[in-house]
Amino acid sequence: MSKGMTILAANQKRMPRKTGPAPSIDPASEAVGLGESPIGDALRSIYQQTIEEEIPQEFLDILGKLA
């Protein structure tokens, strides 16, 4: 086992596991909180720019080779 894996395994042993259901998060309430701040507006703007960005031809070529 490598040194990194040994450290990871040691850290996992020390951390207690939580049991029970995961806490529920209401996406609508999260979105409202972000919408009321300049940070939320900036994040939405960056996200929108990212999803509208064109896929580079090099990526399309690689995907074509995989098909």
Measured distance CA(51)–CA(53) in Å, rounded: 6
Q: In order along the chain (67 residues), what is the average pLDDT of each group of 10 residues?
A: 50 56 58 71 95 95 92
Measured distance CA(62)–CA(51) in Å, rounded: 20
pLDDT of residue 67: 79
CA 12, distance to chain mean position in Å, is 22
Domain positions in the chain are: 38-67
pTM flag (> 0.75): no
